Chains A and B, each alone.
Chain A
Amino acid sequence: MVQTDLTLDAKGLACPMPIVKTKKMMKTMDSGKVLEILATDKGSTADLQAWAKSSGHQYIGTETEGDVLRHFLRKDGAGAPEETITIPEISLADFSQKVEGNEQMTILDVREIDEFEESHIPGAIHIPLGEVEARMDELTKEDSIYIICHSGRRSGIAGDMMAKKGFGSLYNVVPGMNNWTGKTE
Chain B
Amino acid sequence: MTVKAMKASEIAKKVINNEPLFILDVRNGDAFADWKIEGGNIQYLNTPYFDLLDGVEELVSELPTDRDILVVCAKEGSSVMVAEMLSEEGVDAAYLEGGMKAWSEHLEPVKVGELQGGGELYQFVRLGKGCLSYMAISDGEAAVIDATRMAHIFLDFAQEKGAAITHVFDTHLHADHISGGRAIAEATGASYYLPPKDAEEVAFEYEALENGLQVTIGKSKIEIEAFYSPGHTIGSTSFIVDHKYLMTGDILFIDSIGRPDLAGLADDWVGDLRESLYTRYKDLANELVVLPAHFMIIEELNEDGSVSKKLGDLFDENHGLNIADEQEFRDMVTKNLPPQPNAYQDIRKMNMGQIAPDEEVQREMEIGPNRCAVR
Contacts and interface: CB of A to CB of B under 8 A. Distances in A.
A13 B41 CA distance: 35
A54 B50 contact: yes
A88 B31 contact: no
A16 B49 contact: yes
B334 interface: no
Contacts of A17: 77
Contact of B50 (A16, A88, A89, A90): A16
Interface stretch (A28-36, A45-53, A112-120): A45-53
Contacts of A174: 44
A64 interface: no
Given A46-B28, A54-B48, A15 B53 contact: no
Nearest to B26: A16
Given A19-B53, A42-B364, A89 B31 contact: no
B78 A16 contact: yes
Contacts of A16: 49-50, 53, 73, 77-78, 81
B41 A47 contact: no
A58 to B, nearest CB: 16
A139 interface: no
Contact of A20 (B29, B47, B53): B53
Interface size class of A (residues with CB under 8 A): 20 to 34
B40 A88 contact: no
Interface in A1-32: 14-17, 19-20, 23
Secondary structure dominating the interface of B = mixed
Interface residues of B, number: 26
B48 A51 contact: yes
A105 interface: no
A43 interface: yes
B47 A86 contact: yes
A16 B29 CA distance: 15
Contacts of A43: 74-75
A89 B53 contact: no
B45 interface: yes
A94 B41 contact: yes
Contacts of A140: none
Nearest to B50: A51
Interface string B31-73: 1000000001111111111110100000000100000000001
Contacts of B78: 15-16
A80 interface: no
Given A14-B75, A15-B74, A43-B75, A86 B30 contact: no
Contacts of A50: 28-30, 48, 50
Given A46-B28, A50-B28, A50-B50, A91 B73 contact: no
Interface of B: 28-31, 40-51, 53, 62, 73-75, 77-78, 81, 299, 364
Interface of A: 14-17, 19-20, 23, 42-43, 46-47, 50-51, 54-55, 84, 86, 88-91, 93-94, 174, 179
29 contacts: A14-B75, A15-B49, A15-B74, A15-B75, A16-B49, A16-B50, A16-B53, A16-B73, A16-B81, A17-B77, A42-B364, A47-B28, A50-B30, A50-B50, A51-B48, A51-B51, A55-B50, A84-B29, A84-B51, A86-B29, A86-B47, A88-B44, A88-B62, A89-B44, A91-B41, A91-B42, A93-B40, A93-B41, A179-B299
Please list the 9 inter-chain residue pairs (A to B) with the smallest Cβ-Cβ separation, ordered nearest first: A51-B50, A50-B28, A16-B78, A89-B44, A15-B77, A88-B45, A19-B50, A14-B77, A86-B46
